[in-house]
Amino acid sequence: MGLYRLERAIREMCEDDTGLEIRLDDLAEMAVGLRDQIVADGRIDGSDLPALMRLLGMIPRLREGCAESLRYNRAVNTLFGRLASERRIGERWAAPEGERERAA
C-alpha cells in the first residue's frame, strides 16, 4: 500500500471512529440524565422503573460501541506502524548512495 493510500486509510478510519465516539458520548450523556432522573428524589421506587429499564437496555449498545472503537484504535495503530516503516524505507531509498550504506 502506498504512503498516500495508507495515510488516507488512517484518516478515514479515524473519522469513522470519531463518529462512533460521538454516538457513544451521546449514549453516555443520556445514561447520566437517566441516572439523575432515577436518584432525583433520593429513593428508587416503581416510578423509576422505565428509566432503569431504558438505562439497562443501553448497556449492550455501549459495550458494543466501545469494542468497535477499540477495534478501530488497534487498526489505526497497526496502520501507523506500517506508515512509519514505509517512511523509513522511503527515506533510506531517497538518501544519496553513501548515506544509504550507512543507514543499512
Set of cell numbers at residue 33: 440524565
Q: Residue 103's pLDDT is what?
A: 56
Q: Could you report the per-residue pLDDT of 73-94, keeping only the tens digit for each? A: 999 999 999 888 888 877 777 7
Distance CA 15, CA 2 (A): 20
What pTM value is reported for the model?
0.71
Distance CA 57, CA 60 (A): 7
